[in-house]
Structure 1
């Protein structure tokens, strides 16, 4: 399973308005819930927040990759948001976040899907040109192509 298989245009949000990390996570969870991949949105949000308690998912360069592995997830999916205004995320570089890539992973996965998706995204985000393109791009199809 790869990124292209678990993200579609309905999960790419441009100019998302959220003033806190929690608001952004909740709105992306709404998006995943509308896709039909969450059996319990509140439970999934709790799993994402629990993960944040262990260590920040603000990876630097204005990007966060929150994720939740939970029994409330029925199939792997990704929601992407380009935020209207940067949000504080306790990122590793102490910078606010403007791009959020949130993963939803079923609890039954052995870790392969989770790690494969995170790894694929992390490798792509090492490309500074790609990161800069994501920060300015508003075309949802192009964003999916960049990530996929």
Structure 2
């Protein structure tokens, strides 16, 4: 899976201003809706919140990967957002989150979201990859980190 080709500038934001996990999810869901990736912002947001209730998507090391598989998703996508201020996400390591990668996948029987999720989670465990994303300041930086890793 070539995630570097899936980077959509409408879904990348630096210094997103959010004070809570819920506020961040709502704002990122708006990006998904405004970009046309989802057709019902409220249903998508609710799906992400429902998934978050099951188990926090804060994977640790200042990163969270909230996600949702839903019929309101038109095409698989991910938003990559650096937060202006770190926020508590309920991560297993109790560290606040600075980078949010939010996934959206259509509920069409395909498990592309699992492929995206596992690819990202596996690579985010590597310090160099994670640091590259955390230090990125442009879409080009993000694409470079993904391409160099072959993700």
- Please indicate the TM-score interval, normalised by the length of the shorter structure: over 0.9
Answer yes or no: is 1:137 the counterpart of 2:136. yes
Determine the structure 1 residue equivalent to 2:15: 15
Bigger shift: residues 21-30 or 60-69: 21-30
Q: Is the partner of 2:37 in helix, strand or coil?
A: coil
Structure 1, unaligned stretches of length 5 or more? none
RMSD of equivalent CA atoms: 1.3
- Offset of 1:7 from its aligned partner? 2.3
Structure 2, unaligned stretches of length 5 or more? none
Size of the aligned set, in residue pairs, is 147
Distance in 2 between the 1:139 and 1:85 partners?
A: 18
Distance in 2 between the 1:132 and 1:5 partners?
A: 20
Q: Is the partner of 2:45 in helix, strand or coil?
A: helix
Determine the structure 2 residue equivalent to 1:128: 127
- Offset of 1:110 from its aligned partner? 2.8
CA displacement, residues 80-105 of structure 1 (integer Å, 9 cap, x when unaligned): 10111001100011111000000000
- Offset of 1:3 from its aligned partner? 1.9
TM-score for both structures, normalised by structure 2: 0.91
Distance in 2 between the 1:41 and 1:119 partners?
A: 25
Q: Is the partner of 1:104 in helix, strand or coil?
A: strand
Distance in 2 between the 1:5 and 1:139 partners?
A: 15
Determine the structure 2 residue equivalent to 1:105: 105
